[in-house]
Each structure stands twice: as C-alpha cells, then as structure tokens.
Chain A
Amino acid sequence: MELLAFACAILVVMPLLLVFYHVLREGLSSVNLAFFTQVPAAVGEKGGGMANALVGTVVLIGQAALVGVPIGVLGGIYLSEYGGTKFNWWIRFAADILNGVPSITWGVVVYGLMVVPMHGSSALAGGVVLGLMMIPLVMRTTEEVLQLVPGGYREASLALGISKWRTIVQIVVRTALKGIVTGVLLATARIAGETAPLLFTAFGNLGWAHGLKEPIAAVPLVIYNYAMSPYPDWHRQAWAGALVLLLLVLFINIGVRFLTRDRFQQKI
C-alpha cells in the first residue's frame, strides 16, 4: 500500500519535471539579453525580444492584484466573520460557480462591459478581467483559512475588550496570514498564464503601450501568436517566453514562502 502511494506521489511530480525539462531544453538558448530588452522585430525578421510582453504581464498581474486581492480578502473576511448564514450561503454558492466559469467566458463578458464602450482593447480591461477571475478564488481560500483559526483566539481577544474589527485584523487575519498569502499566490499563479481572456481585452501589442487605455502585450498572448506562426525564430522565442513564465511562477512561489516563513522556531 505504501509503495502504491509512493508511486502515485512520483506520478504527480512527473509532469512538472517533464514540463520543466522540455521547456528548459527548448527555451534556454533563446533567453538572452535581447530577449529581455528588445521589442519584437518586424514580422519575418530575426531577432527582437519580449520586453514589452514581460512588462505587460507584470502590469496586468499588478492591476489584477489591485482589484482581486482587496475585494477577495475583504469578501473572505466578511464570509468568515460576519454575515447571516443564509446570505453567506448564497455568496459562497455564487463564488464557487464563478470559480468554475471558463476563462474565455470572462474575457467575453469584460469585452462587452469595457472594450465595447471604450471602443477598443486596453490594458485596463485586461487587468480587470484577470482581477475578476481572482476574486472568487481569493475569497474562498481566505474564508477557509480564516475558519481554520480556532475560535478561542477570537474569544480571548474579545474578552480583553478588543473590538471585533481589531480582533479580526490584528489577531485572526494575522494568525491566518500565511494561508491568505498562499491563497493570493495560488490565484496569481493561475491568472499569470491566462491567455483566452486576454484575447478579447488586452489584445496584445507589438510595441509599448503608452497608457492603460491602450492594448498591451502579455507573455501568454505572445507565446500563442508566435507558436501559431510559421516563423521558426518566433517559435524559439515562444519557448523562451514559456520558460520565463514558468520561472516567474516558480519565483513567486519561492519568494512568498520565504517571506512567510516561521520566524519563530517551534519548540516541542
């Protein structure tokens, strides 16, 4: 039985290792200074890089976080600490449904809500769609993590004459912080690689966007376009992009784990 479980554990890790290996092999050679500093060359020409896409991805994730994190975390706090049982049940139900909505649908919705009235694609729309996708995920993980904080801490805090809000922020959230950050991270990692919604919103840009109201490049979009193209040079750059994306997600993970490490060594 143990052997079987062990084998399954290996099976889980295998795809990750395979992906890493493949992407590394194909993309490593193409990751050079030009890749990071130059914008795409003219169609058909060799050379150029993904500087604009990289910046674009960062901008989009940043906007998404600005939208998704506060609303998601505060929503999660509300679900966990306040609210009536009936009302909360409906909110959770809605959030769970939204978590299952295909990302392309999100793209279409924001297309209708923002791109059409604004008469064009924009970085803003891209950020908004990614942010909206983050919200239900962050909200649910935040709520679950807060629920794991034992009620005893809330009681002890309230019994000291600390107000409910302060109790939640300074005691409960503080205790659950690692979990909340993990939830945010999960959501960020998910949206970092989203391509479909961006098709309708950010749209992509061969150069730099000069403001959020303009379309903006993003790494997944570029990978999509390059991979579908007939140019081998673009193919190789697509691999590089994939590698960079993978490394980005990896570093986000490592970075957050470092920041939320146990400063206190547990003595047993």
Chain B
Amino acid sequence: MATANTPENAALTVRNLSIYFGGNHVLKNVSLDVAAKAVTAIIGPSGCGKSTFLRALNRMHELVPEARMTGDIRLFGDDIYARGIEPVAVRRRVGMVFQKSNPFPTMSIAENVTVGLRLNGAREKKFLVARTEESLRMAALWEEVKDRLHAPAISLSGGQQQRLCIARALAVQPEVLLMDEPASALDPLATSKIEDLVRELKRNYTIVIVTHNMQQAARISDFTAFFYLGELVEFGPTPKIFTNPSQKRTEDYVTGRFG
C-alpha cells in the first residue's frame, strides 16, 4: 500500500486494483494516489503490468477480451467504474497518448487536432479554429505548422506527429493525460522536446507517464511508481526512488541488476 504525499490533492486515487485477462492475474492489488498537476512516472521491466495499469486509468484495458477488474479508481472523487458511467465519458476526462504516434492519415493537421471535438458534436467554426491554435500552442507545435494547417498530418516528422497527437488529446481538455512511452520511438532531439513539453504541461495537467527509460523518469517526474510482476513494489517522490529506494527490488532494478 503506498500513497502520495498529499492525498487531498490527488487527481486519481487507486485502491486495491486487480485486473484479470481471462485467467491471467495481471495486476495485483495496486493502491496509490496520483498527485494533481504533477508528473507520475511508472517504471518496471517488460510485462510488469505498467501499461495495463495506465490503461485502467481510462478504462482502455476493457478493449482486451475477457478483461475483468476489481477495486476502486476515483478521478477527483468520481468513481470511474461506477454503474452507468460510460467508458467514453471517462476517456473525455482522461486522455491518452501512445508509444507509436498515430495521427489519422485521411485528415489534415487541423482536422486531426479537432477530431475529438467534431466527432462528439462540436460544429461552430470559430470555436474549432480557436481550440486548434490553443492546443497546438500547448503542444509546442504551433509555430512549426501554423502556415500549413491543412497539410496532411502524415507529412509531419515523427516527433512532430507525436506532438500533434498530444495536441489532439489536449483539444478535448482532459483533466489527466496518460502517456504510454511517448518518446520511445523518437530520436534524442525529438525526445528532449517531448520532455520539455511534459514539464510545461504539468503546470495545468496531471500527467501519468509509463517509461522504460529510468533517466527520463528521473528527469521529468515528481513521483515514481515501480511495478514488478503485476505488483506495485514501491511508490514515492522521484528523488528518493532514484537515490535511495527503500525496497531491495527497486534498488536492483534501478541499478540495472535486472530488467
């Protein structure tokens, strides 16, 4: 059982979360608080359940057949798994950016940014144009694309595409942004731009980021959770986890003795 320093301004409170895929017990009794307007990193070796955990935060794990969960997850106090709550509604409050950038190929840059708004009914042109600029600015992409908003989204470079995906996620104004290894497919320069972006974004958003790069976690996160074999082994402020972890398994992972 691990809690963040300040449970009263936790954006997400997870209690006794267990997830099963059919007979597979993938996440075992995880509890933690995700602090609001801070970056929480999730680290751990492959297959430890960190991606599954991330996806449970916006009910995306339900896409896996025979997925089952027990436990409680609350978003600013609201139970996101309550009866009658649609996953779609949760996902509008908790956005997600993926490892491989995936801007929609049939749409332009501007269309990609507003797709979440338009496909949920937004029509007013002025509103969409304003929100497009706002989101692209927040994703540090505006200056690079402002003169070619109607160019195809796939004409952008890998790093730009990923920032476009971030803009697209931000356009629906989520409260929490989940990032699943967002920079792992990018070169170092593009990676560092994404990291700068994350540092900027945390002023207004709560961010949870899964990463296999510990130095990245050490660089950009405020809190770090270490998962191993489906369990939450240790959770605490990032400096502590990386200079003096309490658990031996954390120490071993962080110093590269396994994983």
Contacts and interface: CB of A to CB of B under 8 A. Distances in A.
Tell me, yes or no, whether A and B come into direct contact in the complex with CB atoms closer than 8 A: yes
Interface string A226-264: 000000000000000000000000000000000000001
Given A155-B63, A162-B88, A266-B154, A171 B102 contact: no
A117 interface: no
Given A160-B115, A266-B155, A152 B98 contact: yes
A86 interface: no
B39 interface: no
A160 B168 contact: yes
B243 interface: no
Contacts of B89: 161
Given A171-B104, A175-B106, A162 B116 contact: yes
Contacts of A266: 152, 154-155
Nearest to A150: B102
B163 interface: no
B96 A159 contact: yes
B202 to A, nearest CB: 20
A190 interface: no
B172 interface: yes
A162 B96 CA distance: 13
A162 B98 contact: no
Nearest to B178: A159
Interface in B98-150: 98, 100, 102, 104-106, 115-116, 119-120
Contacts of A160: 91-92, 95, 115-116, 119, 168-169, 172
Contacts of A159: 58, 60, 91, 95-96, 98, 169
Interface in A140-196: 150, 152-153, 155-163, 166, 170-171, 174-175, 177
Contacts of A157: 104, 115, 119
A152 B102 contact: yes
B241 interface: no
Q: At the interface, is chain A mostly helix, strand, loop or mixed?
A: helix
Nearest to A177: B106
Interface centre among A159, A161, A171 (most CB of B within 10 A): A159
Contacts of B58: 159
A210 interface: no
Contacts of A119: none
B100 A170 contact: no
Contacts of B98: 152, 155-156, 159
Contact of B60 (A152, A155, A174): A155
Nearest to A161: B92
Interface centre among A155, A160, A174 (most CB of B within 10 A): A160
Nearest to A154: B63
Nearest to B93: A161
Given A161-B120, A161-B172, A156 B92 contact: no
A158 B102 contact: no
B155 A163 contact: no
B165 interface: yes
B104 A162 contact: no
A26 B53 CA distance: 71
Contacts of B172: 160-161
Interface string B47-74: 0000000000010100100000000000
B190 to A, nearest CB: 18
Contacts of B90: 161
Interface of A: 150, 152-153, 155-163, 166, 170-171, 174-175, 177, 264, 266-267
Nearest 6 pairs between A and B by C-beta?
A161-B92, A160-B116, A159-B96, A264-B152, A152-B102, A161-B91
Interface of B: 58, 60, 63, 88-92, 95-96, 98, 100, 102, 104-106, 115-116, 119-120, 152, 154-155, 165, 168-169, 172
27 contacts: A152-B100, A153-B102, A155-B96, A155-B98, A156-B102, A156-B165, A157-B119, A158-B91, A159-B60, A159-B91, A159-B95, A159-B96, A160-B91, A160-B116, A160-B119, A160-B168, A160-B169, A160-B172, A161-B89, A161-B116, A161-B120, A162-B116, A162-B120, A171-B104, A171-B115, A175-B104, A175-B105
Given A156-B168, A157-B115, 8 more contacts: A152-B100, A155-B63, A156-B98, A156-B165, A157-B104, A162-B88, A175-B104, A266-B155
